[in-house]
Structure 1
């Protein structure tokens, strides 16, 4: 699986971080990509801090915490249950994308690092095993 992180400049001069995946569902979207770049309109600094909570939950699941443990954004979320993780749409919980918790944890870290680097980071491509 390949994820591409990029920054897009808006008409008002602000830049927003975007995530795209080469693994899309039947509707042409990636729930994982949306879960990462869904900042709820709160901006980069709050997103960076909120990712810490997602990483904490993923680590807790891997350590054997009873689950599922949910990390939710405005429209999308991640769920961790032991070694298995799921990206999902809050409005349609049946619409999911499954990935190992370890992979989701790694991607949360990469996304957090990308956000912390800011628009100067340009475009970054991450490849991970999806199984």
Structure 2
């Protein structure tokens, strides 16, 4: 049996800001953009991995979510504790310079971790935690 990751979902409360971050800063290509306004689902991914995507979606739009749950999701997004993803780059330092120059919210500059990885952490425009390690 061969299983691969096809897509991952991250909430995005400002589609234009999220699109600019993932496309213009991280260099992902846009694979889909459906809906309008704040009700947009934007699919992005690395150009050299067409089989792997991230879907940037409106948070808490499921009709089964209560108002109380929506408030919790909004609170967690504001803290940056609701969602995250780990990425890798072949040139961590160059990517960090580009991300930092974009004005993104840097959580941790590049450093060697105890577990062996060298990485940095940033929050995307929705507050999602993005850790990027040296590939």
After TM superposition, the score normalised by the length of structure 2 is: 0.28
Structure that is richer in helix per residue: 1
Larger radius of gyration: 2
After TM superposition, the score normalised by the length of structure 1 is: 0.29
Q: RCO greater where, 1 or 2, for CA within 8 Å and sep 6 or more?
A: 1
Structure that is richer in strand per residue: 2
